[in-house]
Amino acid sequence: METYYSNLLYKKLSFSKNIIFDLSDFPIGEILYFSFIFSLIYFFFRDTKSITYTVSSILIIIYFFYISWGVNYFRIPLHKSISQEVYLNEKKIETLTRFISIQCNKLKKEINTKKTGNKNNLNSYKNIIESKNKKFKYSNFSIILSYLGIKGYYNPFTNEANVNSEIPDILIPVTIYHELAHKQGFASESDANFIGFFNAYNNHEAEIQYSASFFAFRYLYHDLYKMNPNSAENIYESLNSEVKNDFSIVSNFWLYYSNRFQKIQKNIFDLFLKTNGQKKGINSYDEVVKLLLFTFDGKNKFIFDENN
Ligand SMILES: [Zn+2]
């Protein structure tokens, strides 16, 4: 599967799609989704006997989904192919959480000293991150995505990486890299989380590195807290007030948009991931901690080769 699908067919398909869909900054796939939902509703109300139409169009879509991308879900996830034995060892998690907390403090200070007026962050992320092979788009339905609790999504039909532009700025760069990882063919959420982190962390701009560290801290803190709440809290207390403030900006944002549909959406996505071989469903995002631990050199670097 790696050889024939992920490295050959998928690459060829996505290359040809990129020629068309990378031309514009407009998420073209959103027009497709919109017209599809619209036509479903239209046919449903016009003629209730059109069940065959609905069923067959859904089957066609499923078919295209797997040809376009879905088969990537059955690749061996990184945490399995990198190592069979990544144990969550408390000492290691603690060391890494502390290291990331120091990075957060350091980078936040650096960003503040460089701050210049009120620039448009969305544009600046485009300028910093986007390149020929790293094209992404801001969604037209960002408000809806916020209500659904979604930071970004990958469109497998058009091979577009779409990002919710309404989420707090600190979350945007790492989300961009997460969706770009899907676009490269990494379907598993933990893989996309890790590659998203890794690429953002190694970007030359402090703002982008901060987004990565901030993102990793949340996962590490969560896992450390389960093993040793005192130590996790101590590390959290060592964050400077501006970093802590960023954490409250993020939680207030999600609080503002929280609603009962989010839970339904999460359950549907969980089921979707599970039917696609992602055993842990929505919790597979958390596996990223294993990848962080495995690639951390114990001092200050993460060592990983994407083309491996
Ligand atoms: Zn994802």
Residue ranges with CB less than 5 Å from ion ligand 1 = 189, 192
Distance (angstroms) between ligand 1 centre and the Cα of 137 equals 15
The Cα 250–Cα 263 span in angstroms is: 18
Distance (angstroms) between ligand 1 centre and the Cα of 153 equals 6
Burial per residue of 250-262, b for 16 or more beta-carbon CB atoms within 10 angstroms, e otherwise: beeeeeebeeeeb
| Stretch among 11-25, 34-48, 156-170 having the lowest mean pLDDT | 34-48
Confidence (pLDDT) at 84: 52
Let me know if residue 4 belongs to a domain: no
The Cα 275–Cα 5 span in angstroms is: 19
* Segments forming the whole domain that contains residue 177: 74-295
Q: pLDDT tens-digit profile of 75-108?
A: 877 766 665 556 678 899 999 999 999 999 999 9
Q: pLDDT tens-digit profile of 276-299?
A: 888 888 777 778 898 999 899 888
- For residues 9 and 255, the model is more confident at 255
Contact by Cβ (8 Å): 159, 17 = yes
Confidence (pLDDT) at 85: 58
Q: Strand pairing partners for 302?
A: 296
Let me know if residue 256 belongs to a domain: yes
Distance (angstroms) between ligand 1 centre and the Cα of 182 equals 7
Distance (angstroms) between ligand 1 centre and the Cα of 308 equals 21
Distance (angstroms) between ligand 1 centre and the Cα of 172 equals 13
Distance (angstroms) between ligand 1 centre and the Cα of 179 equals 6
Distance (angstroms) between ligand 1 centre and the Cα of 183 equals 10
What spatial distance separates the first Cα and last Cα of the chain, rounded to whole Å?
A: 15
pLDDT at 42 over 70: yes
Confidence of residue 254 (pLDDT cuts 50, 70, 90): very high
Distance (angstroms) between ligand 1 centre and the Cα of 191 equals 9
DSSP state of 50: T
Distance (angstroms) between ligand 1 centre and the Cα of 213 equals 18
Confidence (pLDDT) at 86: 63
Tell me what the mean pLDDT of segment 55-73 comes to. Answer: 82
The Cα 203–Cα 212 span in angstroms is: 9
Confidence of residue 5 (pLDDT cuts 50, 70, 90): confident
Distance (angstroms) between ligand 1 centre and the Cα of 133 equals 18
Let me know if residue 66 belongs to a domain: no
Q: pLDDT tens-digit profile of 167-202?
A: 999 999 999 999 999 999 898 898 999 999 999 999
Confidence of residue 45 (pLDDT cuts 50, 70, 90): confident
pLDDT at 40 over 90: no
- What's the domain count of the chain? 1
Let me know if residue 278 belongs to a domain: yes
Let me know if residue 289 belongs to a domain: yes
Distance (angstroms) between ligand 1 centre and the Cα of 297 equals 26
Q: pLDDT tens-digit profile of 124-170?
A: 999 999 988 899 999 999 999 999 999 999 999 899 999 999 999 99
Q: Half-sphere exposure (CA, 13 Å, Cβ side) for 105?
A: 12
Let me know if residue 62 belongs to a domain: no
Q: Which of the residue ranges 53-62, 115-124, 135-144 has the most confident prediction, judged by mean pLDDT? A: 135-144
Let me know if residue 223 belongs to a domain: yes
Q: pLDDT tens-digit profile of 208-226?
A: 999 999 999 999 999 999 9
pLDDT at 8 over 90: no
- Average pLDDT, whole number, for the chain? 88
Let me know if residue 183 belongs to a domain: yes
Tell me what the mean pLDDT of segment 43-51 comes to. Answer: 69
